[in-house]
Amino acid sequence: MFVNNASGQRGLVCLFDVVCFDEVSGVSFDQKDGVNIMKGYMESGEFSRGKESIRAYGSIVMVGNFDVDVQHQQRVGHLFGPMPPEMRNDTALMDRIHCYLPGWDVPKISEGIKTNHFGLVSDFISECWSRLRSHSRLSVLQGRLTFGGALSGRDQNAAVKTINGLLKLMHPSPDDPVPEEDLEWAVRLALETRRRVKEQQKRIGSAEFRNTQFSYTLGKDGVEKFVVTPELQSEDHVGRDPLPPGQVWAISASTQDEGSGLYRIEVTEGPGSGVRILNRPAPPAFSESVKYAEANLYSRAAEWVGDRNPREHDFSVQLRAYDASKAGQSLGVAALLAMCSTLINKSLRGGLAVVGGLNLGGSLDVLHNAIDVVELAVEKGATLMLMPVTARKQLADLSDDMATKVNVLYYGDVREALVKAIAD
**Residue 216 φ then ψ, to 5°:** -155, 160
* Mean pLDDT to the nearest integer, 303-329: 91
For position 289, what pLDDT does the model report?
A: 95
* Mean pLDDT to the nearest integer, 350-377: 91
For 334-349, what is each residue's pLDDT tens digit? 999 999 999 999 999 9
For 15-40, what is each residue's pLDDT tens digit? 999 999 888 888 877 666 788 888 89
For 286-295, what is each residue's pLDDT tens digit? 999 999 999 9
Residue 273, Ramachandran bin (φ over 0: left; ψ between -120 and 50: alpha; else beta): beta
Range 234-421 has CATH code 3.30.230.10 = yes
For position 206, what pLDDT does the model report?
A: 65
Spatial contact of 225 and 234, defined as CB atoms under 8 Å apart: no
For position 311, what pLDDT does the model report?
A: 93
pLDDT band at residue 11 using 50, 70 and 90 as cut-offs: confident
* Mean pLDDT to the nearest integer, 41-64: 87
For position 325, what pLDDT does the model report?
A: 86
For position 74, what pLDDT does the model report?
A: 75
For all residues of the chain together, what is the average pLDDT?
89
Query: Is pLDDT at 169 greater than 90 in this prediction?
Result: yes
For position 407, what pLDDT does the model report?
A: 93
For 175-228, what is each residue's pLDDT tens digit? 889 999 999 999 999 999 999 999 888 888 767 788 888 999 998 778 888 898
End-to-end Cα spacing for the chain: 46
* Mean pLDDT to the nearest integer, 125-139: 93
pTM: 0.74
What residue ranges of the chain are covered by domains with CATH 3.30.230.10? 234-421
Spatial contact of 182 and 170, defined as CB atoms under 8 Å apart: yes
Q: What share of the chain in percent tops pLDDT 90?
A: 56
* Mean pLDDT to the nearest integer, 142-160: 93
* Mean pLDDT to the nearest integer, 386-410: 91
Q: Which H, E and C letters describe the chain, residue by residue?
A: CCECCCCCCECHHHHCCEEEECCHHHCCCCCCCHHHHHHHHHHHCEEEECCEEEECCCEEEECCCCCCCHHHHHHHCCCCCCCCHHHHCCHHHHCCCCCCCCHHHCCCCCHHHCCCCCCCCHHHHHHHHHHHCCCCCHHHHCCCEEECCCCCHHHHHHHHHHHHHHHHHHCCCCCCCCCHHHHHHHHHHHHHHHHHHHHHHHHHCCHHHCCCCCEEEECCCCCCEECCCHHHCCCCCCCCCCCCCCEEEEEECCCCCCCCEEEEEEEEEEECCEEEECCCCCCHHHHHHHHHHHHHHHHCHHHHHCCCCHHHEEEEEEEEECCCCCCCCCCHHHHHHHHHHHHHCCCECCCEEECCCECCCCCECCCCCHHHHHHHHHHCCCCEEEEEHHHCHHHHHCCHHHHCCCEEEEECCHHHHHHHHECC
d(CA 67, CA 335): 45
- C-alpha 68 chain-centroid distance: 24
pLDDT band at residue 369 using 50, 70 and 90 as cut-offs: confident
* Mean pLDDT to the nearest integer, 271-282: 92
Residue of 119, 118, 129 lying closest to 166 (CA atoms) = 129
